[in-house]
């Protein structure tokens, strides 16, 4: 069971329950716009929205907030549904704001008839300029005092598709001098002759976020409408709209919390889409991306993401989390579950010159020393092995304790070996290391108890399976992408991926797609879900996070 969280939102829900505000009901929703793939920031919202419903015996729906036909696609809807399930949550229902278009329109007519909304023919830039600003008075539109009849006629003709895109809007008639800019006659409908991913060409006008959101909450019976802090100033408008309408249920309550942001990455669908569209990454599931798709492909366990989101708590203070902190949760999770394997990412051939010609031995190696229940596997060993190129130095620098001529080291779980000489190519590069092994050290220890300073991983050449390993660095080199110039792309790390031709222990060919293993000494690696023998480094072994 996951520990119960406590935070200011749960305090509000608890108080509402005690006071019987919603008759003891708790209903939340997760309301993404289907204009991109979900990212790690959305995971926080999902954990909050579904977590609260779970904790209070309520329900949480997924609502696709699909009010903008230009940017929304079925592909995104499908990925959102799938990513939520992967993260471990099951929406009570999957709902669409577009299903409420008719009801929203009826309510808009109601506002027009009550003299609380009007059609404005002003161009967009005039409307923006007239809105004024902080400490700057608003200016009433010349169309603000149209008659109810004229407004109703124009709204109906807007709906009927008579007018060009952008030529008119419907605005709420609130207060052009209000200190909260959101209440200076906000736009409710814009004209858009576009194909909507669900309603097709049925509509020529589309509701704005503010006109759709609270009303959708109310239609569904949401009690606590949790969203991020940037909607703080929208709350007064959320309430204003709801107060004008004959609601079928109790008026929902909007509650805001701080967005989740990380160092070295961006959490904005728009910016992530730019990376995809310009080919700066391979796609939404490129393992360098902060999308749930990508993190999953890279091997991040859903449980680690959930645990992290709960651990950081839910507050009203914006802050940026160190990406190393999330990696620390991932590492802890994988340390307990990942099977250990051997892989050589930059292979250098090692030949044991005293090994009996053609002999093969098998060693039993623990699958996970952290979890004896995972048992052992058999690993083949022979006189020709791949070792890591940087585990050998012909002239060892100070403090280099791995293999060099005359030096004895341990090959993990197998034998002690001593390097004797090297074979070089025409350019003087070492292409082979020759060594002798001590037959008495089978299992990795000498009977005379002599010590070696280094233990190295290896793969038998004749038994190895070739493949590729992808190593990743930060997608953005700056801690706060865009802090210097205002443009995050200026901080894109040009060397965020290194693809290596590697040699893998035979057992890795049986690793199911998507599974994460630990390559001894190298880190945790996820088997690509589509390409066999491609492994993505999830995280390294060393925890760089100091809490």
Least separation in angstroms between residue 304's CB and ligand ATP is: 17
Structure tokens at 506: 């035979």
Q: Which residues pair with 435 in a beta bridge?
A: 352, 419
Neighbours of 500 (CB within 10 A): 15
Strands (E), 389-492: 408-411, 416-424, 430-437, 455-456, 459-460, 465-472
Q: Which does 45 bind (CB under 5 to 8 A by kind): ligand ATP, Mg ion, none?
A: ligand ATP
268 binds ligand ATP (CB under 6 A): yes
Q: Is the CB of 210 or the CB of 327 nearer to Mg ion?
A: 210
What DSSP line would sit under 305-334, residue for residue? HHHHHHHT---SS-EEE-HHHHHHHHHHHH
| One residue of 9, 13, 26, 45 binding ligand ATP per CB under 6 A | 45
3-state secondary structure 62-78: EEECCCCCCCCCHHHHH
Considering only the C-alpha atoms of the chain, give the largest distance between any 2 of them, rounded to a whole number of Å.
103
Q: Is the CB of 273 or the CB of 349 nearer to Mg ion?
A: 273
259 binds ligand ATP (CB under 6 A): yes
Q: Order of strands across the sheet with 523-527?
A: 339-341, 516-519, 523-527, 534-539, 465-472, 497-504, 343-344
Q: Which residues pair with 376 in a beta bridge?
A: 366
Q: Is the CB of 68 or the CB of 328 nearer to Mg ion?
A: 68
Q: Which long-range contacts (CB under 8 A, 24 or more apart) does 178-183 make?
A: 178/138, 180/233, 180/236, 180/237, 181/131, 181/132, 181/133, 181/134, 181/233, 182/210, 182/233, 182/234, 182/236, 182/237, 183/236, 183/237, 183/240
Q: Which does 32 bind (CB under 5 to 8 A by kind): Mg ion, ligand ATP, none?
A: ligand ATP
| One residue of 10, 26, 32, 379 binding ligand ATP per CB under 6 A | 32
CB 517 within 8 Å of CB 343: no
| One residue of 9, 16, 25, 42 binding ligand ATP per CB under 6 A | 42
Spatial CB neighbours of 219, under 8 Å, sequence gap ≥ 6: 100, 103, 248
Residue tagged active-site, from 14, 33, 109, 198: 33
Chain position whose Cβ is nearest to ligand ATP? 41
Least separation in angstroms between residue 295's CB and ligand ATP is: 14
Task: Considering only the stretches 91-99, 101-109, 264-272, 414-422, report the one whose residues sit in contact with ligand ATP under the rule CB under 6 A.
Answer: 264-272
| One residue of 227, 305, 352, 469 binding ligand ATP per CB under 6 A | 227
Q: Is the CB of 33 or the CB of 324 nearer to Mg ion?
A: 33
Backbone angles phi and psi of 53, in degrees to 5: -60, -45
| One residue of 33, 55, 109, 121 binding Mg ion per CB under 5 A | 33
Per-residue x/- track, 86-125, ligand ATP (CB under 6 A):
----------------------------------------
Q: Which does 341 bind (CB under 5 to 8 A by kind): ligand ATP, Mg ion, none?
A: none
33 binds ligand ATP (CB under 6 A): yes
CB 231 within 8 Å of CB 101: no
Q: Is the CB of 32 or the CB of 214 nearer to ligand ATP?
A: 32
Q: Is the CB of 60 or the CB of 169 nearer to ligand ATP?
A: 60
Task: Considering only the stretches 31-39, 129-137, 234-242, 513-521, report the one whose residues sit in contact with Mg ion under the rule CB under 5 A.
Answer: 31-39
Q: Is the CB of 9 or the CB of 469 nearer to ligand ATP?
A: 9
Q: Is the CB of 33 or the CB of 438 nearer to Mg ion?
A: 33
Task: Considering only the stretches 29-37, 53-61, 89-97, 469-477, report the one whose residues sit in contact with Mg ion under the rule CB under 5 A.
Answer: 29-37
Alpha-carbon distance 187 to 26, whole Å? 31
3-state secondary structure 99-159: HHHHHHHHHHHHHHHCCCEEEECCCHHHHHHHHCECCECCCCCCCCCCCHHHHHHHHHHHH
Residue tagged active-site, from 157, 259, 273, 442: 259
Least separation in angstroms between residue 286's CB and ligand ATP is: 17
228 binds ligand ATP (CB under 6 A): yes
Q: Is the CB of 74 or the CB of 145 nearer to ligand ATP?
A: 74
Structure tokens at 224: 């606590």
CB 417 within 8 Å of CB 436: yes
Q: Is the CB of 262 or the CB of 535 nearer to ligand ATP?
A: 262
Q: Is 451 a catalytic residue?
A: no
31 binds ligand ATP (CB under 6 A): yes
Q: Is 33 a catalytic residue?
A: yes
Least separation in angstroms between residue 258's CB and ligand ATP is: 8
Q: Which does 188 bind (CB under 5 to 8 A by kind): Mg ion, ligand ATP, none?
A: none
Chain position whose Cβ is nearest to Mg ion? 33
CB 84 within 8 Å of CB 76: no
Q: Interior CA angle at 480 toward 478 and 485, to 5°?
A: 80
| One residue of 10, 16, 41, 210 binding ligand ATP per CB under 6 A | 41
Alpha-carbon distance 97 to 64, whole Å? 6
Least separation in angstroms between residue 270's CB and ligand ATP is: 6
Alpha-carbon distance 49 to 489, whole Å? 31
Alpha-carbon distance 423 to 438, whole Å? 21
Name the 3-class secondary structure at 291.
Answer: strand
Least separation in angstroms between residue 33's CB and Mg ion is: 4
Residue tagged active-site, from 269, 288, 310, 377: 269
Q: Is 453 a catalytic residue?
A: no
269 binds ligand ATP (CB under 6 A): yes
Per-residue x/- track, 60-89, ligand ATP (CB under 6 A):
-----x------------------------
Which parts of this chain interact with ligand ATP (CB under 6 A)? Answer: 31-33, 41-42, 44-45, 65, 227-228, 259-261, 267-270
Which parts of this chain interact with Mg ion (CB under 5 A)? Answer: 33
Q: Would you please indicate which residues are annotated as catalytic (active-site) residues?
A: 33, 259, 269
């Amino acid at each position: 069971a996951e520990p119960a969280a406590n935070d200011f939102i749960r305090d509000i829900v608890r108080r509402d329950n005690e006071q019987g505000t919603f008759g003891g009901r708790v209903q939340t929703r997760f309301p993404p716009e289907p204009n991109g793939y979900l990212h790690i920031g959305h995971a926080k919202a999902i954990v909050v929205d579904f977590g609260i419903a779970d904790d209070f015996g309520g329900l949480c729906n997924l609502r696709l907030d699909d009010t903008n036909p230009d940017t929304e696609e079925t592909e995104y809807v499908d990925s959102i549904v799938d990513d939520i399930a992967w993260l471990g949550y099951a929406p009570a229902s999957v709902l669409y704001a577009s299903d409420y278009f008719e009801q929203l329109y009826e309510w808009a007519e109601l506002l027009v008839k009550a003299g609380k909304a009007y059609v404005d023919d002003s161009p967009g830039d005039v409307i923006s300029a007239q809105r004024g600003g902080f400490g700057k008075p608003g200016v009433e539109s010349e169309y603000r005092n149209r008659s109810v009849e004229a407004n109703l006629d124009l709204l109906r003709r807007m709906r009927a598709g008579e007018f060009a895109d952008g030529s008119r809007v419907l605005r709420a008639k609130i207060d052009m001098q209000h200190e909260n800019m959101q209440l200076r006659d906000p736009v409710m409908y814009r004209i858009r002759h576009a194909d909507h991913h669900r309603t097709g060409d049925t509509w020529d006008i589309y509701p704005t976020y503010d006109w759709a959101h609270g009303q959708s909450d109310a239609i569904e019976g949401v009690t606590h409408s949790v969203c991020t802090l940037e909607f703080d100033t929208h709350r007064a408008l959320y309430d204003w709209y709801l107060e004008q309408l004959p609601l079928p249920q109790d008026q929902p309550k909007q509650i805001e919390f701080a967005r989740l942001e990380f160092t070295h990455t961006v959490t904005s669908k728009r910016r992530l889409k730019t990376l995809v569209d310009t080919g700066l990454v391979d796609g939404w599931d490129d393992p360098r991306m902060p999308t749930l798709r990508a993190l999953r492909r890279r091997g991040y366990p859903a449980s680690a993401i959930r645990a992290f989101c709960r651990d950081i708590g839910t507050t009203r203070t914006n802050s940026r989390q160190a990406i190393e902190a999330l990696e620390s949760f991932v590492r802890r999770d994988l340390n307990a579950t990942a099977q250990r394997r051997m892989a050589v990412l930059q292979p250098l051939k090692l030949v044991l010159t005293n090994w009996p010609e053609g002999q093969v031995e098998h060693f039993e190696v623990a699958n996970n020393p952290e979890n004896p229940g995972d048992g052992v596997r058999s690993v083949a060993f022979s006189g020709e092995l791949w070792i890591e190129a940087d585990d050998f130095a012909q002239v060892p620098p100070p403090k280099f304790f791995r293999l060099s001529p005359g030096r004895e080291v341990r090959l993990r779980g197998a034998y002690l070996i001593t390097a004797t000489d090297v074979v070089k190519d025409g350019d003087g590069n070492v292409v082979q290391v020759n060594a002798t092994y001590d037959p008495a050290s089978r299992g990795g220890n000498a009977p005379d108890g002599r010590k070696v300073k280094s233990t190295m991983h290896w793969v038998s050449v004749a038994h190895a399976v070739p493949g590729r390993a992808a190593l990743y660095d930060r997608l953005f080199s700056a801690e706060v992408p865009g802090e210097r110039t205002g443009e995050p792309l200026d901080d894109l790390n040009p060397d965020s991926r290194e693809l290596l031709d590697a040699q893998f222990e035979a057992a890795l060919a049986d690793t199911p797609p998507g599974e994460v293993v630990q390559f001894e000494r190298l880190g945790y690696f996820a088997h690509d879900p589509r390409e066999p023998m491609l492994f993505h480094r999830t995280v390294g072994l060393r925890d760089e996070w100091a809490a």
